[in-house]
Amino acid sequence: MNDYSDQKISFRSLLVAAAAILLAGLSAARGFPAKPVTMVVPNPPGGLVDASARLPSQPLSRVTGRSVVDNKGGGSGNVAYDTLVKR
């Protein structure tokens, strides 16, 4: 008695589920970005935190054609947090 037929059904259903998730993600990404994308950095420009924030944002900057990093230094990060709350 071989239970390989049950494993094949499981594997096929896994493939179908993965394809459905992938296609749903692709259709949702079609309208991206609907709003301007901004990465708020709670430090002034020129520091280590700013440089580490700009590295992952460079591909997105190339796609959108503008900088996505917004430096809001001061207030121990409260200025940046306030900016996030108001958006």
Residue pLDDT, tens place only, 25-38: 666 556 666 677 88
Exposure class string for 23-57: b at 16+ Cβ within 10 A, else e: eeeeeeeeeeeeeeebebbbbeeeeeeeeebbeeb
CA atoms within 13 A on the CB side of 33: 11
Q: pTM for the whole thing?
A: 0.56
Q: What residue ranges do the domains of the chain occupy?
A: 1-32, 35-87
> Lowest mean pLDDT: which of 13-17, 23-27, 28-32, 43-47?
28-32
Query: Does 48 have pLDDT greater than 80?
Result: yes
Q: Report the distance separating Cα 35 and Cα 68, nearest Å.
A: 12
pLDDT at 42: 92
Query: Does 9 have pLDDT greater than 70?
Result: no
Mean pLDDT for the chain overall: 78
